[in-house]
Amino acid sequence: MPKMKSNSGAKKRFKVTGTGRLKRKKAFANHILTKKDQKRKRNLRHDTLVDAADEPRMKRLLGS
């Protein structure tokens, strides 16, 4: 049987942390930034973890 391929888009978007969780960037931080206040934009800079409910699906995409 051939090897499983990991999803190329997922490889670029997620990193596995030391404890095995998945780290991701926040959405809505790329354009149309003038109408978003400074506090909101500042909070969008930080990485966050993938929700526990979505984690098994994302890990399957990564092939881990």
pLDDT at site 10: 97
CA angle 38, 40, 43 (to 5 degrees): 110
pLDDT tens digits, residue range 5-57?
A: 999 999 999 999 999 999 999 999 999 999 999 999 999 999 999 999 999 99
Using the predicted structure, report yes or no on whether residue 64 has a pLDDT greater than 80: no
CATH classification code of 9-62: 4.10.410.60
When pLDDT is cut at 50, 70 and 90, the band that residue 1 belongs to is confident
Distances (CA, A) of 46 to 35, 39, 41, 52, 61: 19, 12, 10, 18, 23
| Segments making up each domain of the chain, as ranges | 9-62
Q: What global pTM score does this model have?
A: 0.85
